[in-house]
């Protein structure tokens, strides 16, 4: 798995969601696929951890936590996650964004 490719795919999915072209179920499925990959494979077969991973994992976990929430809250929070991923804003210190263990 190439995390840069997955990051770009996640950005595209979040943009589509933000424009109303994708529902949150597809985002949830994508996030589960990523989490499952990281929990089912041995560490030695996972991609090397990259410096910009924190925003990627923050977005993945945000999708997980927001998928069943009110749509307006979900849209607002995932727009923030998209901004962090694209460099439009900086992920606040103390925000958790790490690989599953």
Residue with the two structure tokens 């998928």:
67
The answer to whether residue 96 is domain-embedded is no
Number of domains in the chain: 1
Integer CA distances (angstroms), 1 to 4, 41, 54, 80, in order: 9, 11, 17, 25
Give the domain extent around 80: 3-86
The answer to whether residue 92 is domain-embedded is no
**Segment 10-65, tens digit of pLDDT:** 999 999 999 999 999 999 999 999 999 999 988 888 888 877 799 999 999 999 99
Q: Record the tokens describing residue 71, joined without a space.
A: 């749509």
**Segment 87-101, tens digit of pLDDT:** 999 998 888 889 987
Report the predicted TM-score, pTM, of the whole model to 2 decimal places: 0.90
């Amino acid at each position: 798995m190439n995390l840069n490719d997955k990051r770009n795919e996640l950005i595209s999915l979040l943009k589509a969601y933000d424009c109303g072209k994708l529902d949150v179920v597809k985002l949830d499925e994508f996030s589960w696929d990523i989490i499952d990959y990281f929990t089912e494979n041995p560490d030695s077969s996972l991609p090397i951890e990259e410096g910009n991973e924190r925003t990627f994992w923050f977005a993945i976990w945000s999708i997980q936590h927001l998928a069943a929430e009110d749509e307006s809250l979900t849209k607002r929070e995932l727009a923030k996650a998209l901004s962090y991923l694209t460099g439009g804003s900086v992920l606040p210190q103390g925000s958790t964004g790490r690989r599953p263990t």
